[in-house]
Structure formats: structure tokens, C-alpha cells
Chains A and B, each alone.
Chain A
Amino acid sequence: MFNKFFLFTALLGLIVLATACASPTTAPSSAQPTAAPKAGAVTINGAGATFPFPLYSRWFYDYAFVDTSAKFNYQSIGSGGGIAQITAKTVDFGASDAILTDAQYTAAKNIQMIPTVAGAIVPVYNIKDTDGKVIITTLQFPYTSLADIYLGKIKKWDDPVLKNANPNIKLPSKDIAVVRRSDGSGTTFAYTDYLAQVSAEWKEKAGSASSVKWPVEGIGGKGNEGVAAMVGLNDGAIGYVEFAYAKQNNLVFGAVQNKAGEFVKPSIEAVQAAMAEYGTNMGDKLALSIANAPGKTSWPIATYTYLLVYMDQTDCVKGKKVVDFIKWVLSDANAEASAKSLDYIPLPDSVKKQVLDKVSKVTCQGKAF
């Protein structure tokens, strides 16, 4: 991990150097365009996952009105980078979509995963029916059908499995073009986690990670926008994107049959139902997969995203600010409203309670705050 951190720092150094050179000599470079932070303001640095970045930026903006002396600075460099940086203690908190491995827990002693919100992943598609009209109704995907499509076992749109589940839609006899993320991402982690839960064959052949070896390589698009573009380009394409992205861009997405056998459309309530099914006992790590959750109303393809903090902080001032921020995130109505407005899914109360319990046990140099 050290090397990656080193490369990153070198890059950061270059950027700083470049901006320093580019800044005009007339004004002192310390001048901030926004309202100047109060004297004695503390800058808290974080780095990690890109998936919650829009929400975190919003939260830091909101929180600046709550605590004017805290200035949060977050670099969305990816979950891998976030884990590396918090392990090396170069940042005050990390962020990750993926659950830490045992080796990563060992490397970063006493680290705690703090779930902040959940995100849902939805299947999006672009197909014309047998009349040549683009299908804009919600397709129903039976229990293992997404796994079978991505395994290459369901090859055509008029496969009996899909046809039987969608009797009112004239599915064409067209090859399915499989689209997936090309960049390593929490979205892929959540999606492959779901596929591995519903299909033993998927688990064995591909597994789940932020980047996997795809049984059907298909087309890789960079980012949600890349996947959406590739799906849009190809008649007969299927892909997966974040719920928020699909909703904000008016993409057509499908309903998926969950573990209880019900076809569910993605919604904030459906994902909260999934969290609540698992949420009564999160365990000490507070980290678990909510993919393929039981319960009739649960949306099956979803994941928590986490902040990474040490249970024993070394810098008491910054540590206190981080803890206060997390408490605000989990208990303030404005924080929840911000999350909902960006189509992220706030934790249900049962989960919030356990996380707040854990956060209240964070210490600084062995002493309580």
C-alpha cells in the first residue's frame, strides 16, 4: 500500500506545484474565494470512495453552517486509495464502498467501518420490441436472470425465462449486449455481490469485487455515464448504474425478483426495507452485505457505503470534529433530507442506533472525549 500512497502523493505534489506556478503573483495564494473560515479553523482531510462523493460534498457544505470552525476536505480517489491512506494515517478519515478484508483490518489496527448511507444499483436496458418501438415499460427480471445474462446463459431477449416474466411485452429475438463498468467501482462491487448471492455459478466463476473477470466481457463503459452511453448506443443492451444516476437521467430501469419471490421496483423505501431486514444486529464491525435481502418489499441490489475512522484517535481536536460530524450525519434532519434529495438512501433507525452507539465509544489517546 505504501507505494500507491507514494505515487499518489507525488501526483498531488505535482498538481500543487502546477497550481502554485499558475497562480497570479498579485494576490497572496492563501486568499479563499469563499467566506473565510474563522480563526482557529481546523482542516480535516479525508479520502476514498467516489460513489458517495456528491453526497459527502453536500454534507460538508451543510455542516459548515453547523460548525463554522471545521473545514472538511475530501478527495474522491477511490475506495482502494481511501483504505491505503487511512492505513498510512495520512488522512483523518477514509471512505470505502467495499468491506475491509481481514488483511486490511490487520494492517490498520483498531479501524472501524461506519455506514453512512446506502446506494442502490438498478438494471437499465435499451431494446426495441418486435414492433420496432423502444420498450419504456418496466421489465421484470426473475430471480437468477441477471446472473444468467451476465454469465452468458441467457443470450437473447426472447429467452423463455424473460418472456414468461413479461407476458405483456413483445420481446424481440435479439442478442443481449452486456454492458458493465470498466473502471473499478463500488457500483460493480455491489452488483457482483448481488450476483454472487443469487447464483452459485457466478460466485464460483467471477466472484465479487470492485473489478472482476467477466464471464461475458461485453462492453465496458467508464463511470455511470459511460455505461449509460454504451447502453444507449446499442439496441438490445443491458447495463447497471446507480439508482440516483438512473433516476436523475430518466433512464428506463427494471424490477427485480427478490429472495421472497416478489418483483420489486427500486425506491428509497425498498432499500430501507432491505437494510431493516439485516439491520437488527449489525455485529461489531458494522459492515455487512445487504444484497439479496429477505423480506417481501426489499430491493435486492444495494450496498452500504462507509467512513473509515480509528476507534482511538491520535489528534484530539480533529478526532472530536470527525465524531461530531458523524453524529450530525446520523441524527440531523437536514443531513437526511440532503441524502434523499440526491437519491441516496438514509439508514433506518434500527441501524442508526447501533452506529451512534459505536461512534460514542471513539476515544482519543485512550481517553473519552
Chain B
Amino acid sequence: MSVVSAAKKRSAVSRFNALIRRTGHGDVIFRALTILAGIAVLGTVLATGYSLWDTTPLPREKFGLGFLWSNDWDPVREEFGALPFIYGTLLTSVLALLMAVPVGVGIAIFLAELAPDWVRQPVGYLIELLAAVPSVIFGLWALYVLIPVLVKPTSEFLNTNLGFLPIFAGPIFGPSRLAASVVLSVMILPTISALCRDVFLAIPNAQREAALALGATKWEMISQVLVPYGMSGILGAIILGLGRALGETVAVTMVIGNNRDLTSSILHPGYTMASIIANEFAEATYELYVQSLVEIGLILFVITLILNSIARLLVWQVARRAPTEARA
């Protein structure tokens, strides 16, 4: 760099510094920027909600709230109802959480508390890598490997031994709500375990030392001190996992069987909200049809908001209680 341009640059820098000083060491600018960022988030959410609402006058007028509990989805007769899709989304997401949370938290505890250093680093890295795998890859893998090798035999086992329970009723095809849930659980596992590991690593060592000093075993220290202490963080991780499960589209569409029947069996093919949009949007040939699909999107948006709000309240509740419990 030449001397002249260096000098020019210096003067520019000093002028910038002067400006910073005049504006209270940048506090004003910084505050304005952060407020702007905050408003941008809020604005995006509101704008999304509004535009979804604004795009769906036809089905809201024609079906009203009945859209939510009608299970009639017939593009030929122009009848639309969202119940099978709402049911499928909630069922697969909850099942996925039931499978992923214990394993995910288990991995986190192992990595943060029990694993030797040479295991911790590579395994942690692999878990983060798992989060970066595109969902269509998970879908393909599930379709050609997971279903024939794991899900179908498991389904047949459950059906033969527990088939009298409606949730394990046949017939079994392979693609099913269970298959979708298993794929989802694999997909949300890295989110949950990576975040929980960070939560455990952030717990001050004093907590561990105090528990051990009182004669606690490692198990007692983890289950009675560390987990309650990190509970709000763990719940936060679960919420993020749930968010991904609710919205996951491609992988689920490939393995769930896309069947609109409202049956209770988890071994039966099902359908989710994201899947119906992905499947039918491209060939939706009239306005009511398109708008009904957008309304499904609106419902998914509202459900996600409600579930997140509930979870957020839960986190606050736990966060208020946690320190006293940990001290007790």
C-alpha cells in the first residue's frame, strides 16, 4: 500500500473515531442498530402472519373454523379440511420428541460429564455434522435403509405382540407415522444434544464440587444438581427440536406414506401439514385450492407460535425456580 493512501486511510479512521466520540462512544448507534434488529424480527413474524391471513379469504369464508376439524380433502369437489394434517404433524412431532429427548440429553451428559477428552471432541464434531445433513438425504436413507431394515421389522413385531392396542393396529406397509417419527427424531437429535451439551458445560464447577463434597455419587450429582440447574436450557433445546420437527417437510413426505385416513395407529401411513403443501401446491389449479393450502400454512404457523409460547412460559417458570432448588 502506498504512503499516500495509507495516510488517507488514517485520516478517514480518525474522522470516524471522532464521529464515534461525538455520539457517545457509539452507544447511540449501537442501540439504534439493535433496536432495529429487534423490530426486524418482530416485523417479520407479524408480516408473515398477516400475509398468510391476507392470502386466505376464500377458504376462511367458505369453511370457517370447520376447516380445522373437517377431514374431507377433495380437490375435485372443492372440499377442504385440515384435521388429518394437523393430527399427523402433532403426532409425529411428539413421538419424535419422545424418542429424541432421552437420547439427546443422554448424549449431552455423556459428552459434558463422563467422556474422556479424546472422545468428547470428535463425537461432538460428528453430532454437529449430523445437523448439517440436508433433509432430503435423510429421506432417501430412511426410504431405502431405515424402513426395510429397522421400521418394518419393528412394526411387525409391535403389531404381532401388541396389535390389540389401537395404536399398534395393522396393516403394515413400511411407510408410516412411526417411520416419519424415527426420521424426525434422528434429525432433531443433533439440535437437542449439541445445545444440551453446551448447557451442561456452562454450569459452574462449584455446583459439581458442592454436590460431590456432600457425598453425592456421580449419578446423584447429575440427576439432582446438574439437570435441575440446566433445566431451562434443556427445555430451550427441546423447543428448538420441536420447531424443526413441526416444520420438516421433505424427509417426512418421503416416508410417511401421505395417507389422509384418520386412524390412531402409529404403524399406519399418515400425513402432515408441511407434506400436503409440498405435495399439492405445484398442481393446485384453482384459487380456493391454493388458498386452502396457504391456510394450512397459516395453521402450522399459529400452532408453532402457540407451542413456542407455552414452552417459553415453561422455561420462565423453571428459570425462576431453578436457583432455589439447586441451593436446597
Contact = CB atoms under 8 A, between A and B. Distances in A.
Are these two chains actual partners, yes or no?
Answer: yes
A209 B280 CA distance: 12
A162 interface: no
A248 interface: no
Contact of B269 (A1, A3, A207, A219): A219
A294 B154 CA distance: 49
B272 to A, nearest CB: 11
Nearest to A76: B282
A289 interface: no
Nearest to B54: A3
Contact of B283 (A80, A214, A219, A230): A80
Contacts of B17: none
A85 interface: no
A220 to B, nearest CB: 3
A190 B147 CA distance: 30
Contact of B279 (A80, A177, A184, A212): A184
A234 B172 CA distance: 9
A266 interface: no
A218 B174 CA distance: 12
B301 to A, nearest CB: 15
B173 A217 contact: no
Interface string B252-291: 0110011111000000010100010011111111110011
A50 B258 contact: no
Contact of B254 (A3, A50, A222): A222
A220 B75 contact: no
B214 interface: no
Contacts of B55: 3, 7
B148 interface: yes
Q: Categorize the interface residue count of chain A.
A: 35 or more
Interface string A171-211: 00001010000111110000000000000000000111111
Contact of A222 (B75, B174, B253): B253
A207 B173 contact: no
A219 B175 contact: yes
A96 to B, nearest CB: 9
Contact of B257 (A103, A206, A219): A219
Interface string B204-245: 000000000000000000000000000000000000000000
A194 B284 CA distance: 20
A234 B282 contact: no
B171 to A, nearest CB: 6
B74 A213 contact: yes
A182 B74 contact: no
Contacts of B259: 217-220
A100 to B, nearest CB: 9
B284 A184 contact: yes
Contacts of A186: 283
Interface of B: 55, 72-77, 143-144, 147-148, 152, 171, 173-175, 253-254, 257-261, 269, 271, 275, 278-287, 290-291, 294
6 contacts: A7-B55, A79-B285, A212-B74, A220-B258, A230-B173, A230-B174
Given A212-B76, A220-B257, A230-B174, 4 more contacts: A4-B290, A175-B171, A184-B280, A185-B283
Interface of A: 1, 3-4, 7, 50, 77-81, 83, 98, 101, 103-104, 175, 177, 182-186, 206-214, 217-222, 226, 229-230, 233-234, 237
